[in-house]
Every structure is written in C-alpha cells, then in structure tokens.
Structure 1
Amino acid sequence: MVKKYLTSHGKSFILRYSPQTLIPPVAQRYLDLPVHPLRPKIQHMYDNRDPETLWWRVSLHQFGQYKRVVRSWTARRARVAFREALKQHGFDEAGKRLEPGTTGYGCMDSPNGGLKGSLEVIVRLESIDEPFAEVQSDMHSSFDQLVDKTRVLGSQGVTSSTPARKTGLWQPKWSGKTNNNGQ
C-alpha cells in the first residue's frame, strides 16, 4: 500500500497528514510479531479505536542524541501547542467538533463534522531554542496551512507529497532479456 501524505512545513514542526487512519510504526512493530506479549492489547486497542476521529502523534526523529528529559520536554511542548491549535479551530483532542454542525475542512472532514485521518507532528531541532509563544504560533500557522491545503483539495483527496517517478527515462541493461546470455 502506498501511503500518501499532505505536508505542512513550519519553522519548528512538520505536520504530515493522511486521510486514512494509519497505525504508527511503533505499534505496527508489535503487530507484525505474532508472538509478542503486547500484540493482543495493541490489536484490541486499534480494532476498537474510532476511525472517524483524528489519530495524531508527536515524533522526535531528530532528537536521538539528546537526553530523555529534553526529548520529553520537547514532545510535551509540541503536544500542548497542537492541542491549543485544535482548540482554536474548534476541535477537541480527538478532532471532534466542539460546536456540532460546522464543517469546511476539505478531505479532513468526517461525517460527524470533526477531523479524521492520521496526523504526525514531526518536531524539528530548531524548536528547542524557541520560546513557547513562538512554538505555539508556528503550530497554529502550520495547522492553518494544512487546513488550507485540505480545503483546496476537497473531494480530490490527498496526493503524494513526493513527486511521482517518471517512467520510460531509464531502462536497466538486463530488461527484456530472458536469461544471463541475453537470449
């Protein structure tokens, strides 16, 4: 399955959105191992999770060299900023509308008027040095960009964030040959 994302880049964050509800890689790692003791619990959790809500998470890919206290502090700041951005746009933490009956978020809309799909907040290293007010404003502007992109796409859906590879430009030397002798 090809995963398609819509991205929004900010100074401190990258927001990566998919209209499908995707299981995060950490959980998928346990689901791929049939004998892992956490597999039944994680399987149950994702089987019973509402697919008509926004599944979001914070990723700290670039923070591996930092101590745990810095990583947890940075992730907490990103979560608080994202929750505030959701609240400012009229949503709760799960992406459900606080005021029912209002829509207009393009392919992010669910039948109940809330947001649906998967969203990953990738925290950039630059966010460490930023004051929290700037982190919050960057999150709000990144979320606004993402919402604007989904409104423009509307029913067209989300296209791949990376350009498609052009076909026919390069052929390997062995293409069309049936065996090693070229016959």
Structure 2
Amino acid sequence: MVFNKYLIVHGKSFILRYSFKTLIPPVAKRYLDFPVHPLRPKIQHMYDNRDPETLWWRVSLHQLGQHKRVVRSWGARRARVAFRETLKQHGFDEAGKRLEPGTTQYGCMDSPNGGLKGSLEVIVRVESIDEPFAEVQSDMHSLFDQLADKARRLGPQRIIASPTPARKPGLWKPKWAGKTNNIGQ
C-alpha cells in the first residue's frame, strides 16, 4: 500500500509529482491564508472558478535556488516548453484536455471529459541546465509515460494522505508547561 498523496517519478532533468486531486499550490495558499492580503480576493476568485476536471500543472525551481534569476527563468521556460510539447505529443492541450475527444488511455488520470485531471508539479533539477533541449524533451516525454503507467497501475483509491491518524489536541505537553517565571516570590 502506498502511503503518499503523490505519485513521484524521477528523471535526469526533472522530477514529476502528481496528485489525483486538484491542489492549490503553496504560493497561492500563502496569499489565501492571510485574510488581509490585497491579492487574496483575486487568487480566491481564480481558484474558485478554475475547472477541477483539468490538469493543474506548475513548474517548481526550488532546486535551482543558488543560480541567478536569469538561469532560473530560462530553466523554467525550457521545462514549460518541454511539458507543453509532451502534452501535445500525447494528444492533450495545455490544460490537459483531449485534442481528439472520445479517446481515453490514461486510466485514472483521465477526467470524465476525456482529458487529464489532478495536479502535477514539474521540479526542475540542476542537471537540466547543462543538457541540450533534445535530451530535456526526451526526458520529459519518458517521465510522462512512466507517470501515466504508474497512475494507471495504482489508481486514486490506493493513494492516501497519511498512515497515521491526526494527533488529538492536548496529548502532548511541553516540558515548560505549567511552570511560572516567578523569581523571588
């Protein structure tokens, strides 16, 4: 049994993390969790009106943090182009909708309308910077195939969030709990 809410596939240039659910990314959650942030209404509206029957994908660059901004943006652009081309080669548009309706072959990654659904994070690895684009593209293509096979085999019912139940409040107390700082009394 898999005790992970993500399907993860590693490659030379990228890591793909897929969830069967559509998840709001951490960057957007940061704004949504802060009630007085000026961007909160816009982001809330965007995610309230986003189609949950499509593939929500994003590119993450946290492994390229030590590089300059121009290198990070170049790496992200290459990853986005490679992923879009991979989707097109597999018969999908940018949102994961089928270009030719009526064909399904990706099992539980498929939505009722025949496209892909869920959340996918493309993590760019440092090694992708030195690779030519043809190798980056072939790596993305093979990773997508591996991810589709893994999702077809496992299915969403086998993916659960945590093997342990949530902790009940009040069971753990810190060492300093109940002590006062009354010096000299």
- TM-score range, shorter-chain basis? 0.7 to 0.9
Q: RMSD across aligned C-alpha pairs, in angstroms?
A: 2.3
Residues 113-164 of structure 1: per-residue CA shift (max 9 Å, x gap): 000000000010000000000000000000000001111124644356xx95
Query: Match of 1:47?
Result: 48
- How many pairs were matched up? 166
Match of 1:98, SS state, is coil
2:101 aligned with 1:100, yes or no? yes
Q: Single out whichever of 52-61 and 97-106 deviates more from structure 2.
A: 97-106
Q: Distance in 2 between matches of 1:119 and 1:155?
A: 14
Task: Check whether the contact 2:20–2:156 (CA below 8 A) recurs between aligned residues.
Answer: no
- Give the unaligned 5+ runs of structure 1: 166-173, 175-179
The letter of the residue matching 1:44 is H
Q: Distance in 2 between matches of 1:157 and 1:114?
A: 21
Q: Distance in 1 between matches of 2:68 and 2:113?
A: 41
Query: Match of 2:9?
Result: 8
The letter of the residue matching 2:80 is R
Query: Match of 2:130?
Result: 129
Q: Distance in 1 between matches of 2:72 and 2:159?
A: 31
Residues 146 and 139 of structure 1, relative CA distance in 2, 3 Å threshold: same
Query: Match of 1:57?
Result: 58
Q: Distance in 1 between matches of 2:57 and 2:101?
A: 21
Task: Check whether the contact 2:21–2:119 (CA below 8 A) recurs between aligned residues.
Answer: yes
Task: Check whether the contact 2:19–2:118 (CA below 8 A) recurs between aligned residues.
Answer: yes
Match of 1:119, SS state, is strand
TM-score normalised by L of structure 2: 0.84
Residues 157 and 113 of structure 1, relative CA distance in 2, 3 Å threshold: farther
Task: Check whether the contact 2:31–2:39 (CA below 8 A) recurs between aligned residues.
Answer: yes
The letter of the residue matching 2:86 is A
Q: Distance in 1 between matches of 2:143 and 2:67?
A: 25
Residues 123 and 25 of structure 1, relative CA distance in 2, 3 Å threshold: same
TM-score normalised by L of structure 1: 0.84
Residues 101 and 93 of structure 1, relative CA distance in 2, 3 Å threshold: same
Query: Match of 2:183?
Result: none
The letter of the residue matching 1:8 is V
The letter of the residue matching 2:53 is E
- Give the unaligned 5+ runs of structure 2: 165-171, 173-177, 179-185
Give the alignment of 1:11-26 within 5 angstroms. Answer: 11-26=12-27
Q: Single out whichever of 106-115 and 49-58 deviates more from structure 2.
A: 106-115
Task: Check whether the contact 2:4–2:160 (CA below 8 A) recurs between aligned residues.
Answer: no
Match of 1:16, SS state, is strand
Residues 30-51 of structure 1: per-residue CA shift (max 9 Å, x gap): 0000000000000000000000
Task: Check whether the contact 1:10–1:138 (CA below 8 A) recurs between aligned residues.
Answer: yes
